[in-house]
Structure 1
Amino acid sequence: MFNDSGPRRSGANETAMFINHDHRIVFLHIPKCAGTTVRRPLESLNQWDESGPHWRREHPELGFLDFAHLPLAVLRNHFPAAFASVLEYRSFALVRDPYSRFASSVSERLRWNGGVLPARLSRAELKKSLDTSIDYLSRPDSPSCCLPPGYIHFQRQRDYIVLDGEPVVDAVYPVERVARLREELNACLGADGMKLTESTPAAIHANAVLMYRYAGLRRAHRVVAPVMARLRRVLPASASRRIDDWMYVHRDQCARSLFASDYVRDFVSSYYADDVELYARVVRASGGEREQ
């Protein structure tokens, strides 16, 4: 459910790469690829030395770094023990349609960096953030090996799957086939391991980006948010959901034409060309359908 109490803080809800030496499994959490629904139930089994908040902190060589989403090249060069586990253990990852992922990355940047809830944005403000992201990523000096924390959610998915032209991760599933990944992880955990169950609708949409349905509600956010927070404490869950349905709309419904515009799709097709091919190949291999 949408949380209108304020922006998220580093380490509050973030989940990251998972390594379990006992069962010899690794899950590489690619940003904005539904990894939270897989990673969070495994939290107590994570044996990666660098796991745990705060995820965004200083690294002696790399400076301020997002430890939650480290590409393979960074693991190889700076975290050799973790990289060895990726090579030696059964490794998993989820990938997502690059076009919908880019829209989600724009919203995530707003929440992390500006402390701005997407719900409070107008369509014009969302477009400004989108254009700023494209401008930064299009710069000739924009880093490719590992984007800075403010832009890590835009990191190419291929950087977590392929290294030096060779695939590294054993089992890669499209987000539409997360149930299959869950089944294979359960098999690796064995009869005595913690079992990943099918995610509830609330868990699946926990990170959904919502915007106010009406401009008047957006402008009155400072009044609306605390009133809604108090009402949710006393109203039945069904009543709260009905109010939310009236107040909020998913970002994609509000700004679908913006993210589907030619210049945005052209940018994604170019900047994420390898990811477009990767996702299509993974979908074909899984026997599934592309994300609509």
Structure 2
Amino acid sequence: MHIPKTAGIFIRRSLADDRRFAGIRTIEGLGERDTAHLPLRLVSEHFPADFAKFSRYRSYASIRDPGARFVSSVAEHIKQFRKVPKEQVSDAMIIEVAREIVAHLPSDKPQYAHFLPQVEFVELGGRRVVTDLYAFSNLEAMVAAMEAYTGKPMDRQPKNVADKALHPALHRGWRKVRSVAPWAAPLGRSRLARKLFVRRNEVELPKDLKDFIDNFYAADIALHREVLNAAATTGEKVAC
């Protein structure tokens, strides 16, 4: 199940990707929706045949810390809908835009799809639909389980570039280096380079936004805690 900002693109690209569910499209009776990020209630109502199949299949999802996911979602929103390059996104911008966004939530509009609660992608009417849940911090275990079940090798290193950006003061210089010395590109993936990246999910949020997360994502917080407890007990997943 592709939950926004939980390595869904990485999983989709590693497996067969149904292109009917990709990008912002118009759905009859719904209008414009982000079809890559449809919660179960919309899938069940508007794609009943697909939902019936999904309900019978073994399914997987990763559950992420709601606070880190929220910050990541804001950064993605700024990049995708406000067209600001990720290297120009500051902590102050994330906080400012976050305050604007929360005034519109909850919403099914495509520009707010990344802010849908994670529980809406794994549960429907109080029933757990997704069979296997893993902590986002334990993606390696989920990938191993999916490989074992499908027999299909998968990429072991998801590239979640939306969550990180080169420090703004270094970005322009690095682009110049790459333009005159293309052989230097692999250095951008080195251990040293990782130290120069700013992790967007490490933004320190003010109290009003923390309070919003605690309330709006209360069910997600409980779900994330459940998955972490299961990982600590069994070493892997929540099986439903």
Taking structure 2 as the reference length, the TM-score comes to 0.85
- 1:15 corresponds in structure 2 to none
Q: Which amino acid aligns with 2:20?
A: E
| C-alpha separation in 2, matches of 1:286 and 1:83 | 28
CA distance in 2, matches of 1:49, 1:240: 30
The offset of 1:60, in angstroms, is 2.0
Instruction: Give yes or no for the alignment of 1:230 onto 2:179.
Output: yes
In structure 2, what residue type is equivalent to 1:130?
A: A
RMSD value, Cα: 2.7
In 1, the alpha carbon distance for the partners of 2:191 and 2:59 equals: 41
1:200-247 Cα deviation digits (max 9, x unpaired): xxx444333215354xx68xx6xx586355146243623785895686
The residue correspondences of 1:121-136 to structure 2 (distance < 5 A) are 121-136=89-104
Q: Per the alignment, do residues 232 and 59 of structure 1 end up closer, same or farther by CA in structure 2, a change over 3 Å counting?
A: farther
Greater per-residue helix proportion: 2
Structure 2 residue aligned with 1:8: none
2:163 is matched with which residue?
Answer: 208
The one-letter amino acid paired with 1:96 is: R
Amino acid at match of 1:209: K
Q: Say if 2:142 is the partner of 1:174.
A: no
Alignment identity in percent?
A: 28
Aligned: 1:276 with 2:231: no
Distance 1:180 1:64 in 2: 35
- Residues 178-257 of structure 1 mapped to structure 2, 5 A cutoff: 178-190=139-151, 194-199=152-157, 203-210=158-165, 212-214=167-169, 227-231=176-180, 233-235=182-184, 237-238=186-187, 248-252=197-201, 256-257=203-204
Map of 1:41 onto structure 2: 14
The answer on 1:265 being equivalent to 2:236 is no
Q: Equivalents in 2 of 1:173, 1:239: separation in Å?
A: 29
Number of equivalences: 234
Query: 1:235 is paired with a residue of what secondary structure?
Result: helix
Unmatched segments (≥5 aa) in structure 2: 236-240
Separation of aligned partners in 1, 2:97 and 2:215: 19
Q: Tell me which moved more, 61-70 or 235-244.
A: 235-244
Kindly provide the amino acid, as one letter, of the partner of residue 110 in structure 2: P
Q: Secondary structure at the match of 1:276?
A: helix
Q: 1:160 aligned to 87, 96, 121, which one?
A: 121
Letter in structure 2 aligned against 1:166: R
Letter in 1 for 2:11: V
Q: How does 1:42-61 map to 2 (within 5 A)?
A: 42=15, 45-46=16-17, 48=18, 50-51=20-21, 53=22, 55-61=23-29
Asked if 2 retains the 8 angstrom alpha-carbon contact of 1:87 and 1:168, the reply is: yes
1:268 counterpart SS class: helix
User: What's the TM-score once normalised by structure 1's chain length?
Assistant: 0.71
In 2, Cα distance between the equivalents of 1:182 and 1:123?
32
Structure 1 gaps of 5+ residues are 1-27
